[in-house]
Structure 1
Amino acid sequence: MASPASPPPLTERLAALLTDHMARTGEAAADTARRLGVAEEVVRRWIAQAGGDPDAAEFAHLDTAAKLGAWLRARIADTGRTVRDLADATESVSTSTVYNWLKGDHLPPPPVGDEPDRFDLFLSHPALDLDLRQRVRLDEVRRRLTGTSLRPAADPGADWPARALPAGNRTFTGRTEERRRLDRLLARHARGDTAVVAALTGMGGTGKTALAVHWARTREVRATFTDGCLYLDLNGYAETPPLSVDTALRKLLQQFGADPATLPADTDALAARYRETVAGRRLLLVLDNAHAEPQVRPLLPAGPGCLTLVTSRNRLQGLDVTGGPVTHVPLDVLTTRESGSLLRKLIGALIAKSTADADIDALADACGHLPLALQIAAANYLTRARPEQVSLREYAAALTDRRMDALAVGPTDPALAVTAVLDASYRHLSAGARRTYRLLGLHPGPDWTTAAAASLTARDRDATAALLAELAEANLVSEHEGRWSFHDLVRDHAALTARRADADGVRAEAVARLLDHYLHSAFAADRALAPARDPIVLAPAAEGTAPERPGTSQEAVAWFGAEQRVLHHVCARADADGHDARTWALAWSLSNLLDHSGAWTEMAAVWHSGLAAARRLGDDAGTAIALRTLAYSHLQLEQHDTAQRHLEQALAVFERLGDHTGLAHTCIMLSHVSESQRLPETSLDLLRHALEHYRAAGSLDGEARALSGIGWTLVLLGRYEEAIPDCERALALHLQCGNRSGSAGPLDSLGYLHHRLGHYDAAVDYLGRALAVHREHANLRPQATVLVHLGEAHEAAGRPGAARDAWTRALQIYDDLDHPEAGRVRDRLAALPQDGAAGPAPGLPSE
């Protein structure tokens, strides 16, 4: 008598119950986990250990198009939006189309390519709140209902001939979008037009092999390629040379059981034998770690029964030219969510449960979200850091300071290290690309242009562009909208390689060229933006430097907008490396650009360094200019006491030097402090002193500035008629000197005083002209000031709608600048009557 079957293990029984419950109710794994009071990952692990699929269970009950439509209708209802709302917001989707889906009619078959169709786009609407994993599962429901499912009807069995294919990585996670793209290759393969080729590419350590092996071992792939899989490591980036085509063909034929002694000696004959062997078979070919296209091309099967998956650090663009269309699947680092999921698997449930998400994210950030780095860091944390004594956050902080040394397993396995992986990519570059790579590791900013790289390396721009393209082809740099950047770990490696390979003097010369590139480019931008400003004299740029030359104010503003983040790091690097003359000159050259963008906190930081540099140089004039400009940035930040202290120090230095221009500039700045302290008479005296000093120095531009200030101060004192001649004289002098930017000040004053005199049309005209000048020169804060005045003129003229329009625009600027004036403008808007006519205010230039 047969013994009764033993009951299934508890986990399997629990998984079966959970799967059945989720299939009947359509409940997601996360919802089930909340009901049970456990983590979502626990539910997923229970079901997966029992051979189930928690994601599939979520939608298993959708076995008809009508049920799918009912589920979608309920999802839309939960959003609180209408079908029309969602359809109108989705490209190529009409309301009637969605209603057909909701009824279970006209469900479209899925696309065969990578581009999403109408159904995909609709499911991607943010209001539906479906993550990528859910959308993939719903895509499979659609495939099942339309008869185009990629899932096999039966299990392919355990005897599938995997041949040399490595075992899968047990901690593999994420890559949902990339796996979806690979799954769609099966649909192309099913059409049988030609052999399908896909290239998985990315920098070393992104997990290309892990993804290829994981996908190759899925049930769908095994059921499709019934003759099994051929796997070959082409050794593209090892210390030994890449596998030759001859050797690769022999290894592949031996996987079919060929006797090495019977294989022909000639490579062409070997290729013919290979093509004959694979002909008519349904095979998956995984060519791992390819070096370049010539190594891969002879190994690609021609028969429609085969699909080839190539992994490489090289982009392999050449395969498209000779082998027909290739599906390129680039792999970047993991997302924050994927990195966190992988780390939780690696460190184990016990530690993960007692670790805050922020600490796990900190370690992921320290590893640059690179899969290889995450795995090494997790292993080292468990085996070396003693988790019971060192928290994950402490470990992450320590790792950040020495990533290149710490992200390695140890001397027993030297190849398993981030440095070793990147060394392998570096070795396969040309000599010129290796030098470019090393020197780019010295660049302090987050990204760079081809022009900056050319100065750094002392090459012409065309040659530099070609070398950057080589680095991009090797996935060591990336390019976006004309700017190049490193991944964080690659940057660290490039800098480390430069320290190892290049002498101190070589690196110092490269940094000097880089600093001069940005200094002379910024100086040219300043001259284009403020041609009337008294220039400084720069030392010649280091040999090999080719600065950029913005020639107009628009070009200057665009250049600065593109480089602002970089310039912050460049200034810090110049200061830290003791380039005092360059530090001061950079601060001077950036002053107008920073002021016009409202970056006064950054301006203050730059000039703190500039002041220290001038004092170290013993440069009294430079020290006085630094004090005055530093005071200006503090004045804009409404730190009036600090500004006045710096100005008084500057005034003493300029008096000792007998510098009339410097004294005049400083008096004007002190007048601004007095104005902010509501001391207009004191401000007027200071401006008149400034006018005397400008006339003594013979500066017409300075005279225009002083007269403009005098006119405005008279306006503040209510002496409007008296102010008109000074403002008009200032306007004429600014235009005579070619200083269109400076003309905005007296235009604003004339607009303001004509408003006070009741001449509203004249006021709007002057203020509109002032606003146009500020917009032309991208002067943000002055734009807001003029808009406030314009709103006041409209309000006084009985046009509340026009006032609201002007003040709304002013508020947007003040909010963007985080300026304290924003609150006062917001109060004015709140006090306006709500029934004023809307529409653009007269006097406002078009946006």
Structure 2
Amino acid sequence: MEFGLLGAVEVRDGGALVDAGHVRQRSVLVALLVEQGRPVPVERLLDRVWGDRAPLRARETLYGYVSKLRRLLGPAIERSPAGYRLTVSPDQVDLFRFRALVRRGELDEALALWRGHAVEGLESEWFAALRESLHAERTAAELDRNDVALAAGRHAALLPALRQSAEERPHDERLAAQLMLALHRSGNDAEALLHYDTVRRRLADELGVDPSKPLRETYQRVLAGGSAVTPRQLPAPHPWFTGRAEELAALRSPGTTAIGGSGGIGKTALAVHWAHRHLAEFPDGQLYVNLRGFDPAAEPTPPEAVLREFLEALGEETIPSGLDARAARYRGLVAGRRMLVLLDNARSTDQVVPLLPGQDATVLVTSRVKLAGLVAAHGARSVSLDVLGQADAHEFLAVRLGAARVAAEPGVVADLVTWCGGLPLALSIVAARAAMDPDLPLAVFAEELAEQPLDALDAGEIGTNLRAVFSWSVAALSEPAARAFALLGTVGSADLSLTAAAALLDLPVARARMVLRELENAHLVQQHVPGRYRMHDLVGLYAADLPADAGSRLADFYAATARAAALTLEPHKSLPEHESGHVLTFTGNAAAMAWFDAEHACLLTEQRRALAGGRFGVAWMIGRALNNYHLRRGRTHDDVEAWLVALRAAEALGDELNQATAHVCLGADYVELGQSALGHEHFDRGLALFEGMTNHEAHGGAHRAMAWAAEFEGDREKALEHSLRGLEQFRAAGSEVREAESLNEVGWRYACLGRYAEARAFCEEAMLLNGKLGHAEGSAATLDSLAHIAHHDGRHSDAVTHYRDALEVYRELDNSVEQATVLEHLGDVHAAAGEVELAREQWERALALYREQGRTAEATALAARVPAS
């Protein structure tokens, strides 16, 4: 069967319409359908179908409707203690298909599903609110569709629909900007400017506000003739580039060229050098990205992430979700512009194809593999790089070392060129070593190379021996630097901070800095940003083959410092001790959050390595310590990854309490990610492990997580039930901090049910206890709850004060996730009081944070009722 909610309610069986019964019976059907298989209590069904106009025998009438629906739908409708549940596939319901298509960026297909007003003909307060919410989703999708069409150059075809929509929604500033842009691109600037003036006057006369920043920027763009952002992203050219005359001549514009060759052969240097020589051909800008296709310590950069960076570089403020939508907008922005796109270190044709902008631009792609698909299917030219010839290699050394020094030992220089095999990377290392010892005869270097023949790094990748070159370079280092080089080869992450390196090397930070500086001078490591170091991938591969005993110093440093950072964020958190001679300390929340921000990727990498290496305590500690940071930054996917590793570590240790904790936290994460079934599976496994334990605090934590999940899923009564049980457990445990947090959560859930007197009592008790304990995060959360209660009690001034106080504390805690939520709620309070400009200011700040945090659902919902800035 198929169910239609995006218009008059329809039920079809095999394409044929089925009689779904009386309007109230259809209301019951829809009230169950929208829950996507979640149970709906009888009282809630009654409220949804009749509101405050229920007949005297409403319950019996409801049972009759359910009975008739069961005859129509069979076992799809179930009854449980939690209520009635209707289970159908999302593909059977047009509303869920619409949402899935929107998530994938297939907006035209999504909007085609609408047949009129949503759930038309169903009347109650709840259905009116549902209809309004669904129409807001439709409007948001239409606006996103308009953006995609404009970016793809379909402004002429879009104009009639934009004009009609602008008449229907005269206060929609995003829509007004789209109409202005379409008019401008159609050569009708006068009408575009007139429409802006009309909207500006209407906003001033009817709402007393000025146009939003995006609308004003569109106006200025039309006035300026639509001048576009011109990105200039090319890296600086290599200062010692030599040779490659034939290859340079083979590169030309426009079109796509694939530059192939082995690692260290000079692909990037060639592309960048050619690009700088031809800058005049690309007046509209140059885009560059390192796709990291062969980075041994990092995954290839996904095209979707690259497109976000490119769109931002091209001046786009609203980035669509989904690969196809982003690619379409990118192509539209680049169409007709003389631009260069340099895609460096590609792994495959699939990684490159979404980044091809069209026929007008010039694209250079570098890769270690032959991108046959790019050549065969997309008409790319192919340029393959070989090693440098004798003359070019000789010139390379002459440029680096000086003509006089090279001329003084011509035979030795010829030997150096031969031993290096014409590989630019090998020549660079030789030249750097010789340049650091200007008084040493070049013959010494030639003899060292002669004593260690070049072995192939990989027979299928490089025929030239780099191992001997690297070993010779390492042999020239001091003993501490050589030891450091080998130890750096044991690191699994893409880069390393100075403090982490000091822990790995077991040296004071100042001494570690000096050792790393020696490696920098030898071109064996690079300080790519201040205080962070990385190796070229080939150098790293060589270093990884060297014998080195790093012990567990780096793992212990990360585990102990993550613990210290987590306790800075949550001083009352219960975490076991972890020893490290290099553990860092933090002066406050900002410092701890900054450390987590900088080291996040390294922490996840080290956690996985610790699990693989049998250091289960480290793997558990890192996962547990990251939890609060992930919550504050809204990184739920990363939290799942960390907890899955931590769970395996707890299982290996046989620690059932930690296993249960991991299951409960995973349950909450999966529910937030929309995977409720998996989330509840983890909850059930956690509760099963808790059975028989007398750890009241752990039991309280489980109920707390399940309360949050129930609220997220819309079951407020169940959320309150779990919150009350959690409060009982924390009181039994004697944990005042958790008791304070639970008091607030109980109050909040009473407020969600409209029971504001009880809510206020619990929250005020929580506020007193938080103040006694100095629990800042608990105070901020309680202030947010009290603000919500005050708002719904009609105490505008109190609500604003509480929200502002909460916001200040969350800023001090560097909790950007809660800052965004509080800002949105503060805007709601101002809006309710008619303070339009103040409301808009808070909403725009909240929207910016939502988008920065990747909270698409919140951003979409807010943008649907308030134009984004």
TM superposition score normalised by structure 1 = 0.52
CA contact (8 A) 1:236 1:291 kept: no
The CA distance in 1 between the partners of 2:743 and 2:543, in whole Å, is 55
Structure 2 counterpart of 1:561: 597
**Counterpart secondary structure, 2:610:** helix
1:566-645 alignment, distance < 5 Å: 566-645=602-681
Cα separation, partners in 2 of 1:813 and 1:233, compared to 1, 3 Å: farther
Give the direction of change, closer, same or farther, for the CA distance of 1:132–1:767 in structure 2 (3 Å limit): closer
Moved more, 636-645 or 565-574: 636-645
Partner in structure 2 of residue 230 of structure 1:
407
CA 1:232/1:702 → structure 2, altered by over 3 Å: closer, same or farther? same
What corresponds to 2:863 in structure 1? 826
- Alpha-carbon shift at residue 737 of structure 1 (Å): 1.4
Q: Report what 2:431 is aligned to.
A: 289
In the alignment, what sits opposite 1:674? 710
Which residue in the other structure is 2:543 paired with?
494
| Residues 305-340 of structure 1 deviation map (CA, whole Å, 9 limit, x = unaligned) | xxxxx9999xxxxxxxxxxxxxxxxxxxxxxxxxxx
Residue pair 1:450, 1:461 contacting (<8 A) in 2 also: yes
Cα distance in 1 between the residues matched to 2:791 and 2:657: 42
Q: Deviations over 1:377-399 (max 9, x none)?
A: xxx9xxxxxxxxxxxxxxxxxxx
User: Larger RCO: Structure 1 or Structure 2 (Cα < 8 Å, ≥ 6 residues apart)?
Assistant: 2
Task: Verify: 1:213 aligned to 2:252, yes or no.
Answer: no
Post-superposition CA distance 1:142-200 (Å, at most 9, x none): xxxxxxxxxxxxxxxxxxxxxxxxxxxxxxx99xxxxxxxxxxxxxxxxxxxxxxxxxx
Distance 1:292 1:694, change over 3 A: same
Aligned twin of 2:515: 467
Query: For the residues of structure 2 that align with 1:208 and 1:766, how far apart are their CA atoms?
Result: 75
SS in structure 2 at match of 1:548? coil
- Tell me what 1:457 maps to: 505
Shift of 1:536: 2.1
Q: Structure 2: which amino acid aligns with 1:521?
A: T
Partner Cα separation in structure 2 for residue 550 and residue 768 of structure 1:
27
Provide closer, same or farther for how the CA distance between residues 433 and 30 of structure 1 changes in structure 2, counting only shifts above 3 A.
closer
Q: How big is each residue's C-alpha offset from its partner over 1:21-78, in whole Å with a ceiling of 9 and x where there is no partner? A: xxxxxxx9999987xx99999xxxxxxxxxxxxx99x99xxxxxxxxxxx99x998x9
| Secondary structure, counterpart of 1:443 in structure 2 | coil
State the 1:238 CA deviation: 9.3
8 Å CA contact 1:208, 1:311 repeated in 2 = no
Identify the residue that residue 538 of structure 1 maps to in structure 2.
577
Correspondence for 1:782 among 805, 818, 836: 818
Q: CA deviation at 1:551?
A: 3.4
Q: Is the 8 A contact 1:671 1:683 kept in 2?
A: yes
Q: Where do 1:360-759 residues align within 5 Å? A: 404=458, 406-409=460-463, 416-479=464-527, 480-498=529-547, 502=548, 506=549, 510-533=550-573, 535-541=574-580, 545-759=581-795
Amino acid across the alignment from 2:438: V
Distance 1:238 1:431, change over 3 A: farther
Greater mean alpha carbon deviation, residues 813-822 or residues 558-567: 813-822
- Output the CA distance in 2 between the equivalents of 1:489 and 1:462: 28
Contact 2:744 2:763 survives alignment (8 Å): yes
Please state how far the C-alpha of 1:790 moved relative to its aligned partner: 1.0
Structure-2 change in CA distance of 1:485 and 1:627 (3 Å): same
Conserved? CA contact 2:565–2:592, under 8 Å: yes
Q: 1:131 to 1:793 in 2, by over 3 A?
A: closer
CA offset digits 1:516-535 (Å, max 9, x no partner): 000000000011111022x2
Give the distance between the partners of 1:232 and 1:206, measured in 2 at CA: 20
Deviation of residue 439 (structure 1)?
A: 0.9
Q: Structure 1 residues 797, 523: CA separation in 2 closer, same or farther (over 3 Å shift)?
A: same
For the residue of structure 1 that corresponds to 2:431, the secondary structure is: strand
Cα distance between partner residues in 1 of 2:768 and 2:390: 68
Q: Separation in 1 of the partners of 2:596 and 2:732?
A: 35
What are the superposed Cα offsets for residues 519-567 of structure 1, whole Å, 9 maximum, x if unpaired? 000000011111022x2213434xxx41222232111011111111211
1:583–1:613 Cα contact (<8 Å) kept? yes
Shift of 1:712: 0.6
Supply the AA of the counterpart residue of 2:684: E
* Worse overlay, 665-674 or 629-638: 629-638
Partner in structure 1 of residue 832 of structure 2: 796
Which residue identity is paired with 2:747? G
Distance in 2 between the 1:447 and 1:657 partners?
Answer: 43
The amino acid of 1:429's aligned partner reads L
Equivalence map 1:348-363=2 (5 Å): none
Closer/same/farther in 2, CA of residues 311 and 788 from structure 1, 3 Å limit: farther
In structure 2, the CA distance between the partners of 1:207 and 1:614, relative to structure 1 (3 Å rule), is: farther
Q: How many residues align?
A: 494
The verdict on how the C-alpha distance between 1:457 and 1:719 changes in structure 2, with shifts beyond 3 A counting, is same
1:238–1:424 CA contact under 8 A, matched in 2 = no
CA distance in 2 between counterparts of 1:562 and 1:619 reads 31
Tell me, what secondary structure is at the counterpart of 1:484?
A: strand
Structure 2 gap segments, 5+ residues each:
1-247, 260-273, 286-335, 343-364, 367-386, 420-427, 446-453
Question: Given residue 632 of structure 2, which amino acid in structure 1 is its aligned partner?
Answer: H
- Residue 296 and residue 234 in structure 1: after superposition, are their counterparts in 2 closer, same or farther (change >3 A)? farther
Matches of 1:427 and 1:131 in 2, distance apart?
42
What does residue 72 of structure 2 align with?
A: none
Q: Are residues 625 and 405 of structure 1, via their aligned partners in 2, closer, same or farther at CA, if it must alter by over 3 Å?
A: farther
- Secondary structure of the residue aligned to 1:822 is helix
- Of 817, 829, 836, which residue of structure 1 is paired with 2:853? 817
- Tell me by how many angstroms 1:623 deviates: 0.9
Q: Residues 683 and 408 from structure 1, CA distance in 2 versus in 1: closer, same or farther, beyond 3 angstroms?
A: closer
Whole-angstrom distance in 2 between the partners of 1:228 and 1:589: 57
Task: Say if 1:235 and 1:290, in contact at 8 Å, map to a contact too.
Answer: no
* Counterpart code for 2:493: G
Native 8 Å contact 2:282 2:338 kept in 1: no
Distance 1:288 1:699, change over 3 A: closer
Q: How much has 1:735 moved relative to structure 2?
A: 2.3
CA RMSD of superposed structures (Å): 4.4
CA shift for structure 1 position 801? 2.2
Give the Cα separation in 1 of the matches to 2:517 and 2:482.
13
Instruction: Tell me the distance in 2 between the aligned counterparts of 1:40 and 1:640.
Output: 45
Q: Residue 645 and residue 735 in structure 1: after superposition, are their counterparts in 2 closer, same or farther (change >3 A)?
A: farther
The 3 A distance-change label for structure 1 pair 723 and 233 is farther
- Secondary structure class of the residue paired with 1:656: coil
1:651 offset after TM fit, Å? 2.5
Deviation at 1:655, TM superposition (A): 3.4
| TM-fit CA distance, 1:700 | 1.0
**Partner of 2:146 in structure 1?**
none
Instruction: State the alpha-carbon separation in 1 of the partners of residues 736 and 458 from structure 2.
Output: 59
